[in-house]
Amino acid sequence: TLDADIAVHTWTHPYMTTLSNEQVVAELGYTLQLIYNSTGGRIARYWRPPYGDSDVRVDAIAREVFGLTTVIWNQE
């Protein structure tokens, strides 16, 4: 089995804070389903928002709807 974690980076790479709640769910949900279908049932645990564009609302949707932890790069 593979031990590497899989992360989501959205379906169309949008600025997430500009989307409605429904659009955020769709961006993450479509990608999670594709990952699940194409990896024999693996489930992503993390996501990185395109452009680092997230906020409390988007993070809450990712966490509460999909169980995803938001990962942002450092500034080094």
What does the angle CA 35 – CA 19 – CA 44 come to, to the nearest 5 degrees? 20
Distance CA 27, CA 16 (A): 9
- pLDDT class of 75 with cuts at 50, 70, 90: low
Q: Please tell me which residue, 73 or 67, carries the higher pLDDT value.
A: 67
pLDDT higher than 60, residue 44: yes
| Average of per-residue pLDDT values in the chain | 92
Q: What is the pLDDT of residue 1?
A: 46
Distance CA 74, CA 1 (A): 30
Question: How far does the chain reach from its first CA to its final CA, in angstroms?
Answer: 34
Distance CA 64, CA 8 (A): 15
Q: What is the pLDDT of residue 9?
A: 93
Q: What is the value of pTM for the model shown?
A: 0.88
